[in-house]
Amino acid sequence: MQKRHINPPKKIDLVIRAARKLFVEKGFRGVAIPEIVKESGVSVGAIYLHFDNKEKLAQTVYQYTLDQFTEQFSECLAGRETAQDKLSAFAELVFELTEEDPDMMEFMLSACKEIRSHLIIPLCTSDAFTEVQQIVKRGITSGDIKAGNYFLTAISYTGVILRAADLRLQGIIEQPLHDISAELIDNAWSSISAAPLPS
């Protein structure tokens, strides 16, 4: 759908990564351009050559992050057949990214809220999240997932998963999510499953 490349030329990529890291640490308005210069090694002039302004830069960071997530989610879905398996794949990806690339995850979940542009796509209408909604929709049709408003069902599942990721990113959950993912995924699935789980 979007034309952006996941691997843009090196310098731009450096700027995006550095900006994302700093946005997560200090918030969009808390980061000054000179800091991005220091973190990325790219000069002010070069940054403004590639991005119209700070806001545009942040939007690019957001789109870059969304694309990254969507691509990884697509890969994770390979070989997953049932709705339950596909949703588990979503949860596992979220948990893995939370541990391995916390900047990315935190930016996706909350740092981006500071960018108040009207043009920005809300997370839950992004490709990966609409795909989750479609998985749920088909799961309802096939009888695996309880009947109901598919959007509400989808956010119930993702609500459990994303809240855990959020609390882990804030340092409130101290264990790696991998250690507790089974319990969380079980809770999330229970919230939307059609049949009671066999004990």
Partner DNA sequence: GTCTATAGCCCGATAGAC
Partner DNA sequence: GTCTATCGGGCTATAGAC
Measured from the CB of residue 55, what is the shortest distance to DNA in angstroms? 6
**Which residues make beta-bridge pairs with 193?**
145
Contact yes or no for 85/179 (Cβ under 8 A): no
Asked if 27 is part of the footprint of its own copies (rule: CB under 8 A), the reply reads yes
CA-based nearest residue to 140, from 89, 182, 87? 87
**Which residues make beta-bridge pairs with 145?**
193
Asked if 33 is part of the footprint of DNA (rule: CB under 7 A), the reply reads yes
Contact yes or no for 18/40 (Cβ under 8 A): yes
- DSSP string over 83-144: HHHHHHHHHHHHHHHHHH-HHHHHHHHTGGGG---TTPPPGGGSHHHHHHHHHHHHHHHHTS
CB-wise, 15 or 132, nearer to DNA? 15
Choosing among its own copies, DNA, none, which partner's interface includes residue 132 (Cβ < 5 to 8 Å by kind)? none
According to CB under 8 A, which one of 29, 83, 85, 90 is a site residue for its own copies? Answer: 29
Instruction: Find tokens 């979220």 and name the residue.
Output: 94
Contact string (CB under 7 A) for DNA, positions 49-68, x = contact: x---xxx-------------
Asked if 119 is part of the footprint of its own copies (rule: CB under 8 A), the reply reads no
**Rounded CA separation 104/94 (Å):** 10
Asked if 34 is part of the footprint of DNA (rule: CB under 7 A), the reply reads yes
Asked if 72 is part of the footprint of its own copies (rule: CB under 8 A), the reply reads no
Measured from the CB of residue 157, what is the shortest distance to its own copies in angstroms? 8
Asked if 14 is part of the footprint of DNA (rule: CB under 7 A), the reply reads no
- The structure tokens listed for 140 are 């309802």
Q: What H or E segment, with its residue span, contains residue 22?
A: helix 10-26
Q: Residues in the site for DNA, rule: CB under 7 A? A: 11, 29, 31-34, 42-46, 48-49, 53-55
Residue ranges that bind its own copies, judged by CB under 8 A: 26-30, 110, 113-114, 116, 122, 124-125, 148-149, 151-153, 155-156, 158-164, 167, 170, 172-173, 180, 183-184, 187-188, 190-193, 195-197
